[in-house]
Every structure is written in C-alpha cells, then in structure tokens.
C-alpha cells in the first residue's frame, strides 16, 4: 500500500510542479482553489514521511523524556494522513459535474448564509419550546431517559433533526404540546429549506450551461 501511495503521490507532485512551471501567473496559480486543494492533499505525505524518519532516529531520546511528545506527534500524523481524502477532490479537475457543483456553491454563498441564519433562528426558537412542553412529563422522563429533553442545549439536536426531517427517533416528544411544537418545527423546516432552493437551482443551471459552453468551445478549438 505504501508503494502504491508513493507512486500516486509522485505522479501528482510531478503534475503539480509542471503546471506551476507552465502557469503564466504564479500568484494566480497559487490562489486557485483546486491548486490549493492539490497542495494540501500532497503535502501530508511528505510531512508524515519526514516525521516518521525523524521519529525513528530520535525514539530513544524521546522515550527517556516521556511518552507525551510521542502521543502528540502520533495525533498530528493521524490528522495529516486523514487529509489524504482530499485526493478525491482532484476529480473535480476532470469532471464537469463536480466543477458545476463547486461553482454553484461559490456563487450561492449568500443563499447558504441566509439558510444557515434561518435554521439557527428556528432552532433557537423551537428548542426552548419543546423543552418547556416536555418538562411537564417528569415521571415519563425518569423512566425513559433516552426520550427526555433534559435541557435546552440538549433540545438543539432534536430541533435540527426535526427541521431537516431526518428524525432519528432518539428524542421523541410525548406530550400533546410537545407534539404540536414538533409539527410546527417540521413544517417550518420544510419551508426554510425550500426558500433558497429556487435561487440555488437557477445558479446551478446557469453554471452548468456556462461550463458546458466553455468545454465545447475548447473541444472545437482543439479538434482538427
């Protein structure tokens, strides 16, 4: 597995260096989102390789000083190796669909921000209400702690999964007032999620058409 990873990272590194050399503007290349992802995906391999070599050479000294340093170093290495999942993001360079998705997210930051604001306001509203409604069921909460709304912060989780209509069922309102609050929160969540959907859909469609025309123009230019 190490050999396969080394070959892949070596190929990615060579491609990255060649693209950097051929770039007309080095600064614009360094600021490119996909190029930043490429660098973040490649660097952890070399960092972990250097740290592993240094760790083996200084193991005796570190053991004498204690295990704390080794534990912290091991945690850093695990975090760096977890960044290898960013290799998948390289597919966006060769996929029209993924590029369209990225461009849509970039152009819809305002809509996503409003969606997040609406959700936060609704969660802050419905969490105290369901906690107040269910706090009257103390005997039931004592015998069924998995369904209890012990505090307002604990109710945040319930509000989020209810408004997104996920509904894991780990927290369920049992009283009539609690069920009314749950019904209102679910309907509110459906409406809130639908508010920016039209704008985001139009942005996605426009971005797809633009990228498709760009690809077709490039293909016609390169074709004999």
The pLDDT of residue 145: 53
Note the pLDDT of residue 190: 92
Give me the pLDDT at residue 117, please. 93
Task: Output the pLDDT for position 28.
Answer: 86
End-to-end CA distance of the chain: 42
How crowded is residue 177: how many other Cβ atoms within 10 Å of its Cβ?
15
Q: How far apart are CA 128 and CA 32, in angstroms?
A: 44
Interaxial angle between packed helices 2-22 and 33-57, expressed in degrees from 0 to 180 and rounded to the nearest 10 = 130
The distance from CA 135 to its chain's CA centroid, rounded to whole angstroms, is 35
Count CB neighbours of 163 within 10 A: 22
Q: Report in angstroms the alpha-carbon separations of 78 from 7, 38, 44.
A: 21, 19, 10
Is residue 202 a contact partner of residue 158, using CB atoms and an 8 Å limit?
no
pLDDT for res 124: 93
Using CB atoms within 10 Å of the CB of residue 66, give its burial: 0 to 12 exposed, 13 to 18 middle, 19+ buried. exposed
109-134 and 176-194 helices, crossing angle to 10°: 180
Return all residues near 142 (Cβ < 8 A) that are at least 6 apart: 148
Q: What is the pLDDT of residue 174?
A: 82
At residue 46, the pLDDT reads 80
The helix (H) or strand (E) run that includes residue 207 is helix 197-222
The confidence score (pLDDT) of residue 53 equals 62
The pLDDT, as a whole number, for residue 54 is 58
The pLDDT, as a whole number, for residue 41 is 77
How far is C-alpha 170 from the chain's CA centre? 24
User: Is 34 in contact with 88 (CB distance < 8 Å)?
Assistant: no
Q: Report the CATH number of the 95-224 domain.
A: 1.10.287.70
Task: Give the CATH fold of the 2-94 domain.
Answer: 1.20.120
Report the pLDDT value the prediction gives residue 119, as an integer from 0 to 100: 92
In the chain, what are the helix, strand and coil shares in percent, each to the nearest 5? 85, 0, 15
Distance CA 31, CA 9 (A): 21
Q: Where exactly are the structural domains of the chain? A: 2-94, 95-224
Q: Rounded to an integer, what distance in angstroms lies between the CA atom of residue 19 and that of residue 11?
A: 12
Classify the C-alpha dihedral 196-198-203-205 as positive or negative. Answer: positive
Place of tokens 């702690």: 145
pLDDT in tens, 114-172: 999 999 999 999 999 988 888 765 455 555 555 567 788 888 999 999 998 887 877 88
Cα–Cα distance, 107 to 196 (Å, whole number): 13
Low-confidence residues of the chain: pLDDT under 50: 62, 64-65, 138
């Amino acid at each position: 597995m190490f050999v396969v990873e080394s070959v892949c990272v070596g190929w990615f590194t060579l491609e990255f260096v060649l693209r950097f050399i051929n770039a007309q503007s080095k600064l614009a290349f360094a600021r490119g989102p996909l190029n930043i992802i490429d660098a973040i995906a490649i660097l952890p391999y070399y960092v972990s390789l250097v740290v592993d070599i240094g760790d083996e050479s200084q193991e005796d000294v570190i053991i004498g000083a204690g295990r704390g340093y080794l534990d912290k170093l091991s945690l850093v290495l695990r975090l760096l190796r977890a960044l290898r999942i960013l290799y998948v993001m390289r597919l966006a360079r060769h996929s029209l669909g993924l590029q369209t998705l990225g461009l849509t997210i970039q152009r819809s930051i305002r809509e996503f921000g409003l969606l997040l604001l609406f959700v936060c306001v609704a969660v802050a509203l419905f969490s105290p209400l369901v906690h107040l409604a269910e706090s009257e069921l103390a005997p039931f909460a004592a015998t069924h702690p998995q369904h209890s709304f012990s505090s307002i912060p604990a109710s945040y989780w319930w509000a989020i999964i209810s408004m997104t209509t996920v509904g894991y069922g780990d927290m369920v309102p049992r009283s009539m007032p609690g069920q009314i609050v749950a019904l209102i929160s679910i309907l509110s969540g459906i409406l809130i999620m639908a508010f920016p959907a039209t704008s985001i859909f139009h942005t996605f469609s426009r971005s797809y058409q633009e990228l498709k025309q760009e690809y077709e123009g490039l293909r016609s230019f390169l074709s004999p």
